[in-house]
Structure 1
Amino acid sequence: MIVDQLVLDKKSSKSHYTSDKNSEKPIRSVAKAVSWRFIGTMDTLLISYLLTGKVVLAASIASIDFITKMVLYFFHERIWNKISWGKTK
């Protein structure tokens, strides 16, 4: 969205943005949370393993990290979706 606002003229970008800004449903936030947490969890797993040298401990840390941060991200995303700051009307 940011790129097309910078590249395209304001009129076509604004109409596209207006039609898109209210279309995000909670299931999209869930999908984004899961995909992002997969990437983040792989990072946590690797770092935990490098620090502890133990696969089981690293997997435990990564599992807890996956669940808690996915839930936090979901609510963060939903709250930001309700905030009108930065959206054009």
Structure 2
Amino acid sequence: MKKTITFAILHFCVAFTVTYLLTGSIVIGGAIALLEPAVNTVVFYFHEKVWKRIEQAKAEDTLQQFSAA
């Protein structure tokens, strides 16, 4: 969970900076910086869960291959 939180903070800073530089608006920069990283953080969390399941399935397949031999 710490990895997800630090990723969210970093993403917030990047999103705000890029949006502010493109628009010159603190309000728009703040709004985008809150919305976009929040959505990406949730997506990242589930992305990690899916990858863990994929890795676990691969490990189980490998283990079954060795035990069948």
Q: TM-score, normalised by structure 1?
A: 0.59
- Structure holding more helix per residue: 2
Gaps of 5+ in 1: 1-29
- RMSD of Structure 2 on Structure 1 (CA): 1.7
Structure with the greater relative contact order (CA < 8 A, sep ≥ 6): 1 or 2? 1
Determine whether 1:46 maps to 2:17. Answer: yes
Aligned equivalents of 2:30 and 2:23: distance in 1? Answer: 11
Identical amino acids, percent of aligned pairs = 27
Which residue does the alignment assign to 1:57?
28
> After the TM superposition, which parts of structure 1 deviate over 3 Å for at least 4 consecutive aligned residues?
none
Q: Which structure has the larger Rg?
A: 2
Aligned equivalents of 2:40 and 2:34: distance in 1? Answer: 10
Which residue does the alignment assign to 2:67?
none
Match runs of 1:1-89 below 5 Å? 30-84=1-55, 85=58
Superposition deviation, residue 31 in structure 1: 2.5
Q: TM-score, normalised by structure 2?
A: 0.74
